[in-house]
């Protein structure tokens, strides 16, 4: 029987300061200023009323704070997480050499895992399948994605399997999307980051490192309840541009990017700071992406292959 690791105990002053720090983050960087102000007032009011004074467990405080935050924000990237490892000791400022070693190890593991991409598959009718479970940063995975997309340029149809994809860097989306269109740049979405005070448009790239799949052949994206964040954004963006048919179940719903900051050695507050506005719908995917073809996630691949073969037969 597994034994839980010992919990990190909280002194009253440490607990109070952590809650005040979280409230301040909501005030200053939450993507919706009005909701952020309301959340900050609620946390401070609960603190003043003594609702947290009996909590000495870091794990329990994370659970209680997350429940209180969810009552107002209802935002899947936002909450407080408990970590057994010291999150402050692992920061770049605390030990730059150790941080660099961890980054090298992370990159080595990422390369060994092919940047979350499974081996390319081909099915009858020259239908290519690309399954991947995360969106790595383009500066890390860009060259790999260029090579992979060049391999499928000759496919008759293309299927992306995102049923187990929990997101990552949305900056990889334009790299992938660029291979699904032609030379003319296409506006995909705009991301506004309240913490940084920036607004950034994402477009397809006019020049590619490999041959494009192009804009005329069918594309299908498989999704399910585990599909989250950047994976949802990719599916929603292609759906809104009418470039892909979405097959499977409604996705989890995580349209806002979050910033994580340790408020104690073992508690990290994650606050959504980034909002995404789709270039076509002028909004985001809210509580999840709705499939064009609704089937159980387990049946999504055979369903997509069947529809693709019908579409290819009609094209000839």
pTM, two decimal places: 0.92
At 37, is the secondary structure helix, strand, or coil?
A: helix
Crossing angle (nearest 10°) for helices 58-72 and 12-29: 30
Mean predicted confidence (pLDDT) in 61-88: 94
**What does the pLDDT look like over 140-149, one tens digit per residue?**
999 999 999 9
Contact by Cβ (8 Å): 189, 157: no
The confidence score (pLDDT) of residue 6 equals 63
The confidence score (pLDDT) of residue 2 equals 43
**Residue in 144, 212, 128 with CA at minimum distance from that of residue 177:** 212
Structure tokens at 263: 């408020």
Structure tokens at 78: 């936002």
3-state helix, strand, coil in the chain (%, to 5): 40, 20, 40
Q: How confident is the model at residue 95 (pLDDT cuts 50, 70, 90)?
A: confident
Strand order in the sheet with 219-223: 121-123, 127-131, 157-161, 219-223, 245-248, 293-294
Mean predicted confidence (pLDDT) in 18-43: 98
The confidence score (pLDDT) of residue 315 equals 81
Q: With 0-12 CB in 10 A as exposed, 13-18 as middle and 19+ as buried, what is 6?
A: exposed
Cα–Cα separations (whole angstroms), residue 239 to 130, 235, 254, 290: 17, 6, 17, 10
Contact by Cβ (8 Å): 18, 267: yes
> Mean pLDDT for the chain?
94
Residue 91 scores a pLDDT above 70: no
Residue 167 scores a pLDDT above 70: yes
The confidence score (pLDDT) of residue 88 equals 79
The confidence score (pLDDT) of residue 94 equals 67
**What does the pLDDT look like over 209-266, one tens digit per residue?**
889 999 999 999 999 999 999 999 999 999 999 999 999 999 999 999 998 999 999 9
Q: How confident is the model at residue 276 (pLDDT cuts 50, 70, 90)?
A: very high
Chain CA centroid to CA 67, Å: 21
The confidence score (pLDDT) of residue 135 equals 97
Mean predicted confidence (pLDDT) in 21-39: 97
Share of the chain above pLDDT 70, in %: 97
Contact by Cβ (8 Å): 279, 190: yes
The confidence score (pLDDT) of residue 1 equals 41
Contact by Cβ (8 Å): 222, 162: yes
């Amino acid at each position: 029987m597994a034994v839980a690791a010992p919990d990190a105990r909280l002194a009253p002053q440490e607990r109070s300061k952590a809650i005040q720090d979280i409230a301040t983050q909501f005030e200053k960087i939450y993507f919706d200023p009005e909701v952020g102000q309301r959340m900050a007032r609620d946390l401070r009011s609960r603190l003043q009323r003594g609702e947290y004074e009996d909590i000495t467990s870091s794990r329990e405080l994370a659970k209680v704070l997350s429940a209180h935050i969810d009552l107002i924000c209802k935002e899947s990237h936002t909450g407080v997480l408990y970590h057994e490892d010291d999150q402050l000791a692992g920061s770049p400022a605390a030990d730059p050499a150790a941080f660099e070693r961890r980054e090298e190890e992370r990159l080595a593991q990422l390369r060994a895992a092919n940047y979350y991409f499974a081996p390319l598959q081909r099915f009858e009718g020259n239908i290519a399948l690309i399954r991947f479970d995360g969106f790595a940063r383009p500066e890390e995975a860009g060259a790999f994605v260029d090579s992979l997309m060049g391999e499928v340029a000759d496919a008759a149809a293309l299927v992306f399997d995102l049923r187990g994809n929990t997101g990552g860097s949305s900056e990889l989306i334009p790299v992938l999307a660029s291979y699904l269109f032609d030379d003319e740049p296409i506006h995909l979405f705009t991301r506004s980051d309240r913490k940084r005070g920036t607004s950034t448009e994402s477009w397809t790239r006019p020049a590619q490192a490999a041959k494009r799949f192009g804009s005329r052949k069918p594309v299908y994206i498989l999704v399910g309840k585990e599909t989250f964040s950047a994976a949802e954004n990719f599916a929603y963006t292609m759906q809104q541009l009418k470039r892909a048919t979405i097959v499977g179940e409604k996705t989890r719903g995580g349209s806002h990017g979050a910033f994580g900051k340790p408020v104690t050695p073992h508690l990290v507050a994650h606050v959504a700071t980034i909002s995404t506005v789709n270039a076509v719908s002028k909004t985001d995917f809210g509580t999840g992406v709705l499939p064009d073809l609704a089937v159980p996630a387990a049946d999504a691949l055979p369903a997509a292959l069947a529809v693709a073969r019908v579409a290819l037969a009609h094209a000839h």
